Amino acid sequence: MEKKVLIAIPLLLSVGFIFYYFSPPSNNMGFAKIYIDSEFMPKKYTCDGENINPRIEFNEPGIYAIIMHDPDAPAGDWFHWGIIFWGKEILEGLPKTHKGENFIQTYNDFYYYNYITGNIKGIGYDGPCPPKGKPHRYVFEVYKLDSKPDKDIIEKTDIIKFVKEHALEKQEFVYLYGR
């Protein structure tokens, strides 16, 4: 009996390791969850749809930052969204304004490159809008922060600097979108 137990323990541990190591990453792991159930960005979160931000939930109230960008953009890494948020949940479709009750949003690259048209506003979230061709990757970098900014943050360089100085944890989500 004792030999069977000694053999079974390493076997069970190795099977557990294999399942852990080879299982796909889950959107529920970590401190944040983005409510997108596919590797592809739904149209409603893009310039071809409603161009609204997705819902994001955190495992506890706190101060968070989100930087969304497209590393595959023809002009280089394209900045789509910068937000500092305090609370437990970012609702879908935040207003495209600089400040709200529990958030500060920055300008994005649509503003900097003067590409304001239709539902693209250049402040807050402006979703995927790639040229026709191969799908692009859209990276959501979600950060847990140690404090809120004590000054106004409106420029993308300001939020990037603030996040570097105040990030406690980082979680990343990547979605695809193409036309």
11 belongs to a structural domain: no
Is position 118 within any domain?
yes
The predicted model scores a pTM of 0.82
In a domain, 8, yes or no: no
Which residue pairs from 110-116 have beta carbons closer than 8 angstroms and sit at least 24 positions apart in sequence? 112/79, 112/156, 113/75
CATH number of the domain residue 122 falls in:
3.90.280.10
Is the residue at 154 inside a domain? yes
In terms of residue numbers, what domain contains 171?
25-177
Does the residue 124 lie in any domain?
A: yes
What is the residue-level pLDDT of the chain in tens, covering all 179 positions?
555 544 544 443 443 433 333 333 444 458 999 999 999 999 999 999 999 999 999 999 999 999 999 999 999 999 999 999 999 999 999 999 999 999 999 999 999 888 877 888 899 999 999 999 999 999 999 999 999 999 989 999 999 999 999 999 999 999 999 99
Residue 14 lies in a domain: no
Total domain count, the chain: 1
Dihedral sign for Cα atoms in the order 146, 78, 153, 45: negative
Look at residue 3 and tell me if it is in a domain. no
